[in-house]
Amino acid sequence: MSSGTPLLGVSGLSAFYGKSQVVFDVDLRVDTGEVVALLGRNGAGKTSTLLAIAGVVANRSAALRLGGESIAELPSYRRVRKGLALVPSGARSFANLTVAENLEIARRGSAVGALVTIDDVYRIFPVLHSLRAASAGTLSGGERQMLAIGRAMLSQPRVLMLDEPSEGLAPIILTELAARLREMNSRGVGILVTEQNHRFALELAERVYFMEKGQVVWEGAAAEARRPDVLRSYLSI
Amino acid sequence: MALGTTANSYFVQIIFGLGSGAVLFLIASGLTLIFGALRIVNFAHGSLYMLGAYVAFELSSVIGYGNAAFWLVLLLSGVVIAAVGAGLEVLFFRPVYGRALLTQLLVTFSFVLIIAGIVRKVWGAQGESTQTPPFLQGGVRLFDSQIPKYQFFFMALALAVAILLWAILYRTGLGRMIRAAVSDPQLLHLSGVNVRLLFTGVFALGCFFAGIAGAAISLQGAIGPEIAVNAIIRAFVVIVLGGLGSLAGAFIASFVVGLAEALGILWVPQASLAIVFAVLVIVLALRPQGLFGTRAA
Amino acid sequence: MTLGGWWKVGARARSRRSVLTAAAGELRRSLAADPAARDVARRGLTIVTALLVVAAALLPLYADRGTVLLMQQALYLGLLALSLNLLVSTTGLVSFGHAMFFGLGAYAVAIPVAKLEWSSMTGFVIAPAIGAVAAFVIGLVVLRGRELYFALLTLGVGQLIWATAHGWQSLTGGTNGTTGVFPPAFISPFQHADRLYWFVFAVVAVSAGVLYAITRSPFGDALRGIRDNRLRAEFVGLWVKRYELTAFVVAGAFGALAGALMVVGETQITSAQVDWNRSALALIVCLIGGTRYILGPIAGAVFYLFVFDYVLSKTILWDTVLGIVVLFVALALSGGLAGMVEWLLATGAVLVRRARGTTVQPQESALAEEYEVVHLPASPSPVARAAEAAVALADRSGPPVLSIRAIGKSFGGLVALEDVSLDVRQGSIHAVIGPNGAGKTTFFNVITGLVAPDGGTILLDGKDVTARPPWRIVGRGLARSFQQANLFWALSALDNLTLAAAAARGETVRMFGKNSASTRQHARSLIELVGLGDFASVSAAELSHGDQRSLEFAAALAVDSHVILLDEPTAGLSPLETQLATRLIREVARERGLTVLFVEHDMEVVFGIADWITVLNRGAVLAEGTPDEIRANPEVRRAYLGEHDQETEVSA
């Protein structure tokens, strides 16, 4: 796609928790089929940025557009139906529901046009199929994260945002996860991922933003971001 | 077959206890469902039950007192109270989700007062009585005692509601969403579900059953303005005893309370009121989350 | 009217409402920006209150008998509400059965008069004691629940007591009650018309004074801290349950006093006066008057009795009117009547000052209309110590100050910790590192008593502290900071430290007076130490992330501990802040001889200040040793450090 209208365009985004401001005037964009990483230390404001884009925390923005269409006025659940999905951190699921029921709920709230079905999800994550009657609360962290990704896929997203997806996951599962995300990406889904674990994000991403104290302090290609001096200054690695 | 007189009186009391427990479940089920999903305790639930009784009284004077009319009145009362409940939720309760507990309690409590005054104004303080439908008139002879038919009706109704609720929660998409809301409302919001609308729906559903309970009581005989307070306090005992948010707990606790009251009258008439609260305090002292509760106190 | 018509009406209303909200918002901003106006309001409110108290005291001199009697009744209800407000305004506990103490106090007077022919004064004097004892026993039961469970439990117990009073007719007279409880001669209305009123007034006034003093004392501060952040309260050494129980007992004692007062004044008590309606009424008048104001509950009681006395005579819908008032106050007037008066005074002050041209204009911030933009600069450099002391390796031959032996913990099927043992030597700076999910936070939770281990022991200074509650471990000298800042959010930075120090030193049991000067001095010196001197009066919630971490650290120092556990102390800090924080930790620890055990992800920090490192992986100890040993350990590199590029030389 041309570098004209981004799939997800955010400008002048600020977010607030009660009286304190945690995100200051952030601009970022995700183009169709692009993977963008949002990196920074704990407390830099990455999660708050995602939550603000999803409409979960109090925020204001100059512009917030999905596919050129403004979504700033929409409540969260409407943004999901327009194709903006968020997988929050912590591998959250509906613990008292079975895996199958968890997926059903996601299917119901999806955007129009079912390109991805529940069977697709089972095919991509076979372990979920074998666990489909199990209560989600009994799953391991990795399994719950796969369930969360599966749920996100079912909402037919145009842009998928993931908050620290690699947290607590074993390397094998991370490889699987990266493959799935690349697959979605190749079908045109834009991906915005925040991470503390930069290795996972940098292998996946094409473009990177660094955040510090609620502001974007660096933007560039992933190859640039991998340079040690860059990493050292922004992540003190 | 005949029982001795004491055994007879026990038997009669047990039936009445089960009957009153059944009505209690109709009220408490809505209350605990609302708490499970919305995390608020609706003080006005007993008042809505009472309103349902008066609405049924009015409706039956319009529609009639026959058997078919009875079912219609029952259903319509439920619908009317559901609508009233939905209105209350949208206008007054939504603004206080997430605010301090005292605020929430007093906002719902204010409607106990508001509705009490309105009922007194419209219908007076002396109460009303209405006709029992033909198919529920009279009694059944069991073991030398005449048991009113409507006691069994209450039990059947409670059972039907319990099954209906179970079916809704575990066999429908709506129920799945309600259970998801109990688990993680924010995640549900992020899954593309309009959780605010769902909350209103759950509230309305809970009030629907309160309305039906009121109608059922109304069509049994006499009602009065005092039934609201009576109902809500006992309903609180039931849902706390059973565990806040647990339908199974509410079901069992309702009958425990009903039986305790009924048998208490036989054993220690003066302490009959106290017995229920004593049971509550003892159970909670041992198990603060109630019989089936999961949330730690 | 058509649907479209209704929509237009709604739109007009919405735009009008938005104009109103904009105006209200503007006024709010002016108020926020003009502290002088708020001071005027506060002082004005005090003056108004004083005038009203004097007016009430002199009531019999200018009002008719009926009014005086009504005011007396308002005073009984007001005292009950005051006692309830002690609970509500400090601990946040909402009791829905407080009338049970009212009843106990009333019957404590009435029954001895009726059955034993005692004087009513005897009962009056012992009533608060009975209330206190009953509250102690009841409190043990009801405080097992929090928030909503507590409210419903108090409702249940309250009803139990009511039902007992109702049913035990031989003792209490049931619904007919006990009558003929005449006040003693020196205040009997038959002898001296107004002395009864003044007696009641005096009792209530003194009680209000005592309750006010308690609310303002270190004990009150501790209660508010518990409500603000229960976890933090435990970690400054407060035995939370004991404080709540004490508050409940005090509330019960004064509630019983209110009941006793009523019986002396009204000569009778029936069971109907102690049911949940009275409990609910007590709550309602607290709300109407304003829970944040010391005489708010009494104002609410006066308002209720006088207004609804009038309303009752006018309409059968008085219930509804009361309900509407409660609804309105709950939704719109969070400060109740007193709050409204204060707001009016403040608004008046703002308008007057604006007219005179002396007011401060609110800043036109394009970015935040309703939110204060708090973007504080990085903490200034701590006081620079002259010599960078050589990093002396801790002496590892002496006994460990903290000894952890074979700790295991599983959550369901997940093994979080497995046979973890390590020793922390006195004066060392000991790091615990490991990949995500290695069990580090669980480890800290076990040490500090938040989580009980499945097996193993923890010895602090040789004494067993395994599975002890956090407040007790803090009392033995072990403090902890949290990964997510865990502070008393409503308090200022300085007050956070003052409360922490006071709690640790046991000053918070004082129900009267203030914190000692040495405690306040201690807090002040700490706040300077971490560089937050300029932000001492900023509330913790409004501090920047880095400043909150600094305050966390200061709080750990405030509780006079000799072992400090720091959970990711530099998380979220910029490189400069990290350097400053690291230096601060090292200097303070060395200077005060503290032992520091910390979890970190930032390897530069770890290798910079640690003199001993333990590596956890998958819940078990993988390796232990000096920084050099760990850096060279191939297993460790594989599990953890191997994530870094070979070229990235991590320097000490």
B188 touches chain A (CB under 8 A): yes
3-state secondary structure of C413: coil
Stretch C60-84: mean pLDDT: 91
| Among C residues 538-597, those touching chain A with beta carbons less than 8 Å apart | 541-542, 544-545, 568, 571-575, 578
Interface A-C: count of C-beta contacts within 8 A: 63
How far does A66 lie from chain C, in Å, by closest CA?
23
Dihedral, CA of residue B281, residue B284, residue B290 and residue B295, to nearest 10: 130
Q: How far separated are the first and last CA of chain B, in Å rounded?
A: 49
How far does A185 lie from chain C, in Å, by closest CA?
26
A92/B194 CB distance under 8 A: no
A155/B192 CB distance under 8 A: yes
Q: Which residues of A touch C644 (CB under 8 A)?
A: 237
Segments in C181-239 forming alpha helices (H)? 195-216, 218-228, 230-235
Instruction: Give the model confidence (pLDDT) of C593-613 as tens digits.
Output: 899 999 987 777 888 888 899
pLDDT of residue C369: 27
pLDDT of residue B19: 92
pLDDT of residue C643: 44
Are the C-beta atoms of C528 and C379 separated by less than 8 Å?
no
CA distance linking residue A44 with residue C573, whole number of Å:
8
C157/B112 CB distance under 8 A: no
Could you tell me the two tokens for C160?
């139990």
Query: What are the structural domain ranges in chain A?
Result: 8-235
pLDDT of residue C646: 33
Q: How many CB atoms lie within 10 A of CB C372?
A: 16
Give the confidence band of C647 by pLDDT, cuts at 50, 70, 90: very low
Instruction: Give the model confidence (pLDDT) of C145-178 as tens digits.
Output: 878 888 888 988 998 898 888 888 777 777 777 7
ipTM above 0.85, yes or no: yes
Give how far Cα C589 sits from Cα of C143, C221, C566, C568, C586, Å. Answer: 39, 29, 12, 16, 5
CA distance linking residue B138 with residue B131, whole number of Å:
12
Which of A42, A141, A232 lies closest to C572 in CB terms? A42
How far does A89 lie from chain B, in Å, by closest CA?
11
What lies within 8 Å, CB to CB, of C239 at 6+ separation is: C469, C471, C472
- Helix, strand, coil content of chain C in percent (nearest 5): 60, 10, 30
Are the C-beta atoms of C150 and C95 separated by less than 8 Å?
yes
Report whether CATH 3.40.50.300 matches the domain A8-235. yes
Which of B100, B121, B277 lies closest to C160 in CB terms? B277
**Which chains are adjacent to chain C, needing at least 3 Cβ pairs under 8 Å?**
A, B
Closest CA to B126 of B4, B226, B241: B226
Stretch B75-82: mean pLDDT: 96
pLDDT of residue C591: 85
B22 touches chain C (CB under 8 A): no
Instruction: Give the model confidence (pLDDT) of A162-205 as tens digits.
Output: 998 887 677 777 788 888 888 888 888 899 999 877 778 888 89
3-state secondary structure of A4: coil
A215 touches chain C (CB under 8 A): no
Instruction: Give the model confidence (pLDDT) of B102-132 as tens digits.
Output: 888 899 999 999 999 999 889 888 888 877 7
Are the C-beta atoms of A178 and A204 separated by less than 8 Å?
yes
Which of A80, A95, A96 lies closest to B191 in CB terms? A80
Instruction: Give the model confidence (pLDDT) of A4-46 as tens digits.
Output: 788 999 999 998 876 677 888 899 999 988 999 998 876 778 8
Q: Which residues of B touch A85 (CB under 8 A)?
A: 190
pLDDT at B17 over 60: yes
C414/A16 CB distance under 8 A: no
Which amino acid type is present at position B94?
A: R
| Among B residues 222-281, those touching chain A with beta carbons less than 8 Å apart | none
Q: Which residues of C touch A14 (CB under 8 A)?
A: 367-368
CA distance linking residue B73 with residue B130, whole number of Å:
12
* Phi/psi at A38 (5° precision): -120, 105
Q: What is the mean pLDDT of chain C?
A: 82
A80/B192 CB distance under 8 A: yes
Tell me the pairing of strands C400-411 and C563-567.
Answer: unpaired
pLDDT at C379 over 50: no
Tell me the pairing of strands C400-411 and C414-425.
Answer: antiparallel
CA distance linking residue C652 with residue B207, whole number of Å:
67
Helix or strand (DSSP H, E) at A114: none
Q: Which residues of A touch C412 (CB under 8 A)?
A: 138
pLDDT at C631 over 90: no
Stretch C425-439: mean pLDDT: 82
pLDDT at B44 over 90: yes
Question: How would you class B192 by CB atoms within 10 Å of its CB: exposed for 0-12, middle for 13-18, buried for 19 or more?
Answer: buried
Which of C147, C323, C334 lies closest to B101 in CB terms? C147
pLDDT of residue C377: 28
* Phi/psi at B141 (5° precision): -90, 120
Interface test with B, best of C88, C94, C288 (most B CBs within 10 A): C94
Instruction: Give the model confidence (pLDDT) of C505-522 as tens digits.
Output: 888 888 888 888 999 999
**DSSP result, B120-141:** HHHH-SS-EE-PPPGGG-SEEE
Instruction: Give the model confidence (pLDDT) of C289-304 as tens digits.
Output: 998 888 999 999 999 9
pLDDT at C33 over 90: no
Q: Which residues of B touch A96 (CB under 8 A)?
A: 179, 182-183
3-state secondary structure of C73: helix
B180/A94 CB distance under 8 A: yes
B184/A95 CB distance under 8 A: yes
Closest CA to B228 of B247, B208, B244, B213: B213
C367 touches chain A (CB under 8 A): yes
Q: Which residues of C touch A19 (CB under 8 A)?
A: 371-372, 374, 541-542
How far does B134 lie from chain C, in Å, by closest CA?
36
pLDDT at C381 over 80: no
B98 touches chain A (CB under 8 A): no
pLDDT of residue C29: 63
Q: How long, in residues, is chain C?
A: 652
A43 touches chain C (CB under 8 A): yes
Residue C290 per-residue DSSP state: -
B191/A151 CB distance under 8 A: yes
pLDDT of residue C482: 87
A133 touches chain B (CB under 8 A): no
Could you tell me the two tokens for C254?
């004064």
pLDDT at B6 over 60: yes
Domains (range + CATH), chain C: 37-303 (1.10.3470), 397-477+562-572+594-645 (3.40.50.300), 484-560 (no CATH)
Instruction: Give the model confidence (pLDDT) of A127-144 as tens digits.
Output: 889 888 988 988 887 788
Q: Where do the DSSP E strands lie in A82-135?
A: 84-87
Interface test with C, best of B31, B101, B118, B236 (most C CBs within 10 A): B101
**DSSP result, B70-110:** HHHHHHHHHHHHHHHHHHHIIIIIGGGTTS-HHHHHHHHHH
Which residues does residue C404 pair with via DSSP β-bridges, in sequence order?
A: C422, C458
pTM, rounded to two decimals: 0.85
Q: Which residues of B touch C90 (CB under 8 A)?
A: none
CA distance linking residue C548 with residue C493, whole number of Å:
9
CA distance linking residue C119 with residue C264, whole number of Å:
10
Give the confidence band of C372 by pLDDT, cuts at 50, 70, 90: very low
CA distance linking residue B262 with residue B15, whole number of Å:
9
B192/A109 CB distance under 8 A: yes
Which residues does residue C105 pair with via DSSP β-bridges, in sequence order?
A: none
pLDDT of residue C8: 64
Locate the chain B residue with the closest alpha carbon to C167.
Answer: B270
